[in-house]
Structure 1
């Protein structure tokens, strides 16, 4: 069975709890009376332990309270066809799973009709999105996480990334006109990288699946997943039929986009116009 995003998140939580105690897989497996290979596959998400098996592991590691409950919750439905997160703990778990998937990805395609995709956002643009109503400490943490995600595009082995951005996102002022101008300059710069392809979704293209909302298709050696997010909840899909539907949606959106060359020209023209207006 292919690894599910929720199963991977459960495995990561179990591995982190073990590592916090300085235990090896083999040593901890002996302590539990389990096969080391089985424990290893639980931690990678290749196999899904039963909730009572997860409880045994957490109890042996002294995990209790809210953390115990959150990890146990992951064990229920870890092999389901989708993962919906609506509570704050679930959203945090999904964010951890998203980071894990991004870091192991070979290809990421993001369709973003209203905003610049998260992996391409400048720090000030991120602050402009996240700054409303958050305590300073929480804002700093969220900004730091978003900034850290960009490493998958610029690191030693960068992921191949295709960003399909709605034309209206290029003129939507986030933070201030200067912040938007800097963001557009960043798009021009990062779009020159060989692993990044940027395409602007034409505003005159009529209906296309991007108008249903943003989504991300993440592909890697361990499988493929789609991630969707709104203000309150997040959703992971990984079933073959769902992946096929979103691949088709991407191809439909692609027909509504400008070429990378024409997209870069459009962005450059906007930057020039904004600089002359400043």
Structure 2
């Protein structure tokens, strides 16, 4: 993987913030801007200012002319526009990428530091192919049970897309600093078949030896802070450009929230510090992972698991039917 560039998502957001600031400094409302430049839709400016669309350099130049931007501002913002719109060039780094994984990959691309916590899963940047496939197939069973056709990507394609992101951790010469707190539940018996968990533990042992990677295992009965219980999985991102705002991604199971809100960010930073303090340190974590791998190696029978399309296990149901039907 080539050296770090800029995160396309953060470039779009940065551009939007700067354009909004210029508009407000010029004393113009959104409707006034639309009226003066003759755009057909008011939502076009809104999407641009909120970083929700790929910017067209022609549109950005028109806005900069209207706002009376000076030469330094024009050069800076047109450069950011090029980086925000160069998704095709950016995607050359990833031979396979699905829509779901692209959002994560764009966030991670320009990072110098990533911090993650997950109470039930191994984070995507650390997953083996088989662990990722178990996660993907199990989630799709929920989609099917809810009557949702879900995503059209093949599971194998989504696995390869997730693995493509992992080159970030060994990128030369500027791999980001990566820290993760892994709850013991993420590596417990409910997470997958024994042979899948064993291979995942082996990979975690190898990743823990990388100079830019720090892993902490949080034992299940360890107290965090004053009996604090983190409600969700989350990831914190800090970028190479100090003017790109730090970002948090909150994983809600079936919906993810990405925010740059400073108050929310600081709360999760405090929570992450508490988690790191409560969890095993890096050397004790490696020892824990090695011991857990040994236990699974002794206990794992020959594999009988065939990965691929599967059906959900038979569940006992109440007489009133499925919860989704009620």
Answer with 1 or 2: which has the greater Rg.
2
Change over 3 Å in CA distance of 1:139–1:210 after alignment to 2: farther
2:166 paired residue among 150, 155, 168: 150
Unaligned runs of 5+ in 1: 19-24, 46-90
Q: Which residue of 2 aligns with 1:202?
A: 219
User: Are the aligned partners of 2:9 and 2:106 in contact in 1 as well (CA < 8 Å)?
Assistant: no
What TM-score do you get using the length of structure 1 for normalisation?
Answer: 0.68
Q: Which residue of 2 aligns with 1:172?
A: 189
CA RMSD of aligned residues (A): 3.2
Aligned length: 220
Q: Is residue 2:127 matched to residue 1:121?
A: yes
CA shift digits 1:185-220 (9 cap, x unpaired): 000011100000000112221355563121000111
CA distance in 2 between counterparts of 1:30 and 1:165 reads 43
CA distance in 2 between counterparts of 1:128 and 1:260 reads 27
Q: Which residue of 2 aligns with 1:100?
A: 106
Alignment of 1:1-80 (within 5 A): 7=13, 13-14=53-54, 25=57, 28=58, 37=75, 40-42=79-81
Q: Which range is displaced more, 203-212 or 162-171?
A: 203-212
Q: Which residue of 2 aligns with 1:277?
A: 299
SS of 1:163's partner is strand
Q: CA deviation at 1:34?
A: 6.5
CA distance in 2 between counterparts of 1:135 and 1:239 reads 30
SS of 1:203's partner is coil
User: Are the aligned partners of 2:185 and 2:191 in contact in 1 as well (CA < 8 Å)?
Assistant: no
Q: Which residue of 2 aligns with 1:186?
A: 203
CA shift digits 1:149-182 (9 cap, x unpaired): 1111111121110010001222234442101100
Q: Is residue 2:154 matched to residue 1:138?
A: yes
Q: Is residue 2:257 matched to residue 1:235?
A: yes
Q: Is residue 2:219 matched to residue 1:213?
A: no
User: Are the aligned partners of 2:101 and 2:162 in contact in 1 as well (CA < 8 Å)?
Assistant: no
Q: CA deviation at 1:138?
A: 2.9
Change over 3 Å in CA distance of 1:268–1:30 after alignment to 2: closer
Change over 3 Å in CA distance of 1:275–1:42 after alignment to 2: same
